Structure 1
Amino acid sequence: MTPSMFARQPLSLRMIAIALVAAVILMWMDYKNPAWFAPIRHTSQAALQPIYELSLLPSQATHWASGRTVSKEALRRENVQLKAQLLHADAKLQQQDYIVAENTRLQAMLSTTIPEQFTLHLAQTIGTDTNPLKQIVVLNKGAQDGVKVGQTVIDESGILGQIITVYPNTSRLMLITDEQQSVAVMVKRTGQRGIVTGKGIPTALRLNYVFKSSDIRVGDELISSGLGGRMPAGYQVGRIARVKDTQADNFRSIEVTPAANFMNNAYVLILQPKPVATTEPVTE
């Protein structure tokens, strides 16, 4: 294209051509020396920032509108689902805590020391007596396991009660918290003797036949004395919780906190006497 032909072109086309040539020259110079145009580049990007933000307004408006149109019913369903998941997780955690607690109890029970004349037989509580006023539970061990009437049952903390009925595969245990059950005890600190009986509730016992002149204090530890041979001596029965003098007679009203755990007795230990070895006479 000659200069005369270029001059005859419309002004708009000539301006576009000049702009394109200038743009090509500037791009080539920016490619060769980018540091020259760095300030201009930063200034132009800062100037274009509001334009970028304005270009995002339609998409932001669409997102806001879609969020506002979500129904309350959908939000309610999502809330219920999240609550259900939380309850499920809490239930699993409680089950794990229960298993840990049971393992701890079993380890403590199996480490219980007993006299040499007895052996320990682990049993599980599988039910309670049909009479709600009786403190009787059913165990999963019976005559086939060597269980007999009169055998003492303990846990890792103290005496629970005594076997009163035996069947081939099960047995019934009357707890010392029953009103018809009693244990001969003595105060570990002084040797004072007495009889502990149940009150019909799993959280308290009663110490009977203690004179007002006796040295009995709150916190004294009671252990089985073995008197009468019903229960072996030396096992924890409870601690003195309250001492009150009455004017009706010469005895004190004494409340005892049980040593054994009557609220959670899923597993128990049955004290079974070891068989006595007999020697046959030597015949010549």
Structure 2
Amino acid sequence: MGILDRILGRQPANQRQDTTHSDDVDGLVSLSGTTTFGREAITTLATRHGIADGGYLELPGSLQREPDNNADPNAVAVIVEGERIGYVPGYAVDVAQISKVGARAVRVQIFTEMLPKGLRAEAWAWLGSKAPQWEWSEKKRPPMSSKAKAKASHDGSSQMVREALAGGGSRAAEFRAGMVNGVHYLELVEPIKQLKREGRLEEALALSLAAIEGAEGGRDGREPAPFYTEQAAIIYRKLGRRDDEIAVLKRWLALCPAQYRDGSRIGERFSKLVGG
């Protein structure tokens, strides 16, 4: 894994090709529930339009409030051809601009792909007042599988780091403080997860510890990002290294502002280990 070599100083940092794109598209929202609540509806819709084995649709739809929804009275469902395919995410409900009991027309795009576990669907709605500005298209499909999503997440983090460093100023300085051997700690989330999935625990631990160093350098008076400490602790636990697990948890707690320690998962785990 190239990024592991870079962290451990085995090779120089190389620039990587920018394969990502901006997700800051005004008026565009990714629908929730397409693989849970809306799974059956999307399967029906996909079969109706001949994309049950994978494909793309762009169709008119409508947004409909669900005041009687017991789980969320503020929920806004997305209806396409009579099928409830998903929901507008909570943060975008106000942007949807529909009355308490009303509905409004909306443009929807749906991507489907047949994966080993069955049909996977991702859908977006355009809530803006202008013509839709889609981030994805029939020829430029979004990541659908877990592996593809992980890669996209990693690429997105890398792009954010590159843009911050290139922009200069205080933001660039903050990001440089979080670098370890030319790699920012934010770029290590997916590699750590991948190494753990592959059972390469020692290598995952090496990346986690390097990321902890980066997170500490970039904390700017705040608590270090806890993810990397949590991963290191989990790996130590799997390796039966209890004292090391306690030490890495204690390291994070020592840098965490007092008001955030007790309610944290790291604080709870530490207390359990030391019998507090």
Structure richer in strand, relative to its length: 1
TM-score category, normalised to shorter length = under 0.3
Q: What is the TM-score when the length of structure 2 is the normalising length?
A: 0.21
Q: What is the TM-score when the length of structure 1 is the normalising length?
A: 0.20
Structure richer in helix, relative to its length: 2
Structure 1 or 2, whichever has the larger Rg, is 1
